């Protein structure tokens, strides 16, 4: 499979960017801002968005900065398993989409994101880590989580890299709209 992202092969998975994490995640503002760009661009480009929330009864809902920009038909999955594929509904939704490239943003990098990515890799998905949209309580834990996922075969990426790979050409009809998100 091509290691560059394609619109036809991708979906975006937003992992657990919830209210109770606001005050404890290192560089939280960056994680939210970069995740918001990814969600908005996915909506503009027709990339399906899937959202997980870890035990929302205790950790709250997805932060409003993100939930207010979800594209139509975005499904939110409550979970208690740390890895997203521990949720049957989420696993079935990913499979039903028929996309083999899973683009991942979220928190915490070394816990829920790490376990999710390894589950996806074990299920033969190609995983793209949007590293500037990943966070943990400490930068050390974030870096260790990213290193482990890369070593296991996840593809390292960032917001701008993903957006330009999705469009592929400055002649893409949504190029100016997407480019405006990163200016």
Please report the DSSP string for 116-152 in residue order. HHHHHHHTT-EEEEEEEEEE-SSHHHHHHHHHHHHHT
Task: Give catalytic status of residue 171 as yes or no.
Answer: no
Task: Give catalytic status of residue 34 as yes or no.
Answer: no
CA dihedral angle for residue 115, residue 116, residue 121, residue 122, rounded to 10 degrees: 70
Selected catalytic residue, list 79, 84, 87, 99 = 79
Angle (nearest 5°) at CA 68 between 61 and 142: 55
Residue 83 three-state SS:
coil
Selected catalytic residue, list 11, 16, 84, 132 = 16
Residue 133: count of CB within 10 angstroms of its CB:
29
Residues with a known catalytic role: 16, 79, 112
């Amino acid at each position: 499979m091509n290691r560059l992202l394609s619109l036809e092969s991708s979906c975006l998975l937003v992992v657990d960017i919830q209210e109770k994490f606001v005050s404890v995640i290192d560089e939280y503002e960056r994680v939210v801002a970069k995740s918001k760009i990814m969600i908005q661009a996915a909506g503009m480009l027709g990339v399906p968005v899937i959202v997980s929330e870890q035990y929302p009864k205790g950790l709250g809902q997805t932060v409003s900065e993100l939930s207010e920009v979800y594209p139509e038909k975005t499904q939110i999955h409550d979970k208690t398993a740390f890895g997203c594929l521990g949720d049957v509904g989420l696993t079935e939704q990913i499979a039903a989409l028929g996309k083999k490239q899973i683009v991942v943003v979220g928190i915490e990098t070394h816990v829920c994101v790490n376990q999710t990515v390894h589950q996806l890799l074990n299920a033969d998905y190609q995983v793209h880590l949007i590293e500037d949209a990943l966070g943990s309580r400490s930068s050390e834990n974030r870096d260790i989580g990213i290193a482990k996922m890369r070593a296991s075969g996840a593809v390292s990426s960032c917001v701008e890299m993903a957006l330009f790979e999705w469009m592929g050409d400055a002649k893409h009809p949504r190029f100016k709209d997407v480019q405006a998100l990163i200016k």
